[in-house]
Structure 1
Amino acid sequence: MVNRPGRRRFGSIRKRESGRWQVRYRGPDGVMRSAPQTFARKEEAQRWLTLAEAELMQQDWIDPQRGQVLVKDYAQQWIAQRPGLRPRTVALYEWILGKHITPYVGTVPVARLTTPMVRRWRAQLLTDGVSVNGAAKAYRLLRAVLMTAVKEDEMIRKNPCRIPGADQERAEERPVLTVPQVFALADAVPERFAALILVTTFGCLRWGEAVALRRRDLDADLGVVRVREAFTEQRGKGMVLGPPKSRAGVRTVALPAAVLPRLRHHLDTYVGAELEAFVFTTQSGSTIRRGGFNKLTRWQPTVAAIGAPGLHFHDLRHTGNTFAARAGTSLRDLMARMGHDNPRAALIYQHASTEADQAIAAAVNVLVLQFPGAVGGMAAGSPYSMIAEGDVS
């Protein structure tokens, strides 16, 4: 049934053989289009057509055909075309998409995905045994993909990912070592890895940043570390050298003077004379892989022996960050030292001052010097065996 001439100036509504009502209208480009769905009642069809006309008049119209692409296809395209993603991040996003998004809502057209559907998807993830943190990561990825569909590709008007708290992870409280424990750990691992423990902790470095350091990046007299590169472990490729995690990751970090004797000893004993020589390697001179490092150091029994069972290597960076925060530095300078970057704080990181970073290192040095044996322990035998038990809190 077509509307009688004069009764409707915009679009048409007709009843199909199935008994459902179909809407057709002319878009701003002059092309006749149908509504993306049919309607059980004529009143529903009329309401939809009225809204479409209002959108055209307000220049807020979106071509419904754009949103017919499936979520899985659009998300895969989003990952492939997203600028600046590191290979490890691409691999992570593809894994999340294939594991937690595509099996549930992947075949839904982008324009058909609604907030109730997103809510049911997240609830099903949790029911299927996905952790809260895993569901949060999947939710953030889907939200980011659909935000591009809203703001850049103009496929949909609103992002259906509107579930309060769904993006939040429940961070496990990670252990923080005391200063004596840090030195005890450096003493407990094989000697060629002792300086790695100290530089990572007191320099607030990530694993990939620490094992990518070259001789040219270290000044063991001034106590300066320049972070310029980072290793990432990629499936099928092994250790891949590239830029740090973010632009803020390229930074210069000052070390407390108390750890420099151990660093100088390491450079003299285990590192080649050429400026490009990597500072931390295996006995054969190859790049250290994290799994291999755990075996070479008998990591779990070793950290248990110093009173920190379950400690992860990344917790050394967390410990160093905590020491720096206790030194009373500002949030701006602390974040710059850590090499963090995000849209809200990028400008802050770019303008962090070297003087403030030196002050952090000096303040941490005061903490270290509170404990006997922190300096000059290279004389003989166990370099840090004289460190007294204690806490810096």
Structure 2
Amino acid sequence: MSQRRQFGRVRKLPSGRYQARYRGPDGLDRPAPTTFRTKREADDWLAGVQSELGRGDWRDPDAAKVPFESYASAWVKERPLAPRTAELYASLLRLHLMPTFGRKAVADITPAAVRTWRRERLDAGTGPSTVAKAYALLRTVMGTAVADELIRRNPCQIRNGGTVTTPERPTAAIPEAFAIAEAIQPRYRALVLLAAFCGLRWGELVALRRQDVDAD
């Protein structure tokens, strides 16, 4: 039985739960996304919607039902990315984000779901750097969804979740550099010594030829 009220409608279902409905600014009759245990809960939900309408903060609940796979794929295509960046994003989406979020609606991706995804990727042995890059991409895509007014808040709330920490690479001591030069194939010995003591970049090293080296 429907119960009339100033904004929206609440009715009790045969199951004993309550359903809330309201007419949106677009003229469509819209139900709450879930039913409620009590009439008070349904009334409170409608009051929240009415407040959003009054503030001009209402969002079309159907707009955010777009699957993450479709939204993220469009997001990548719309951006002028360098080839290597586009390749990286495609790999991160395919291998790390789509298996979990691909079929989910953008609106259904919650902070808890993001935290669980990140923990599972790390526990599965995915490198922390790769997980951080995938998380940063997810956060950026969902940030655009906020700007597009599909969702109100970015679900990526993990502090420093997108920070890539690379441990400092150890530097060979002088005796170790000579030991490497002695152990390597003779044809590469000069390469090792020049790299260790002359400060040349890799491109400069591999461009050198025998005639470029003055043994005297």
TM-score, normalised relative to structure 2 = 0.78
Q: Could you tell me how far apart the structure 2 residues matched to 1:147 and 1:303 are?
A: 51
Question: Structure 1 regions of 5+ residues with no counterpart?
Answer: 178-297, 318-377, 387-393
Q: Cα–Cα, structure 1 residues 21 and 308, in superposed 2: closer, same or farther, change >3 Å?
A: farther
State percent identity of aligned pairs.
41
Distance change (3 Å), C-alpha of 1:137 and 1:381: closer
Question: How large is the RMSD of aligned CA atoms in angstroms?
Answer: 3.1
SS, match of residue 2 in structure 2: coil
Give distance in 1, aligned partners of 2:82 and 2:119: 30
1:67 aligned onto 2:73: no
For residue 55 of structure 1, the aligned residue among 52, 59, 65 is 52
- Matched to 2:12, the amino acid is K
Segment of structure 1 superposing worse, 60-69 or 41-50: 41-50
Task: Confirm or deny: 8 A CA contact 1:132 1:169 kept in the other structure.
Answer: yes
Q: 1:131 to 1:308 in 2, by over 3 A?
A: farther
Structure-2 change in CA distance of 1:168 and 1:157 (3 Å): same
The equivalences for 1:204-219 within 5 A come to none
CA drift of 1:306 comes to 2.4
Task: Check 1:86–1:382 CA distance in 2 against 1; reply closer, same or farther (3 A cut).
Answer: closer
1:383 correspondence with 2:216? no
Q: Which amino acid aligns with 1:163?
A: I
SS at match of 1:306: helix
Q: Which structure shows the bigger proportion of residues in helix conformation? A: 2
Gaps of 5+ in 2: 173-184, 204-208
Is structure 2 residue 156 aligned with structure 1 residue 165? no
Query: Which one of the candidate residues 77, 82, 104 is aligned to 1:80?
Result: 77
Give the secondary structure class of the aligned counterpart of 1:73.
helix
Q: Relative contact order: is structure 1 or structure 2 higher (C-alpha 8 Å, sep ≥ 6)?
A: 1
The amino acid that maps onto 2:60 is D
Aligned to 2:176: none
CA distance in 2, matches of 1:17, 1:304: 81
Equivalent residue, structure 1, for 2:2: 2
Q: Match for residue 95 of structure 2?
A: 99
Kindly state the Cα deviation for residue 77 of structure 1 after the two structures are TM-superposed: 1.5
Measured in 2, the distance between the counterparts of 1:316 and 1:385 equals: 21
Q: Which amino acid aligns with 1:116?
A: A
Aligned partner letter, 1:78: W
CA distance in 2, matches of 1:9, 1:135: 49
1:38 is paired with a residue whose SS is coil
- Using the TM superposition, give the Cα deviation of residue 29 of structure 1 relative to its aligned residue in structure 2, in angstroms: 2.1
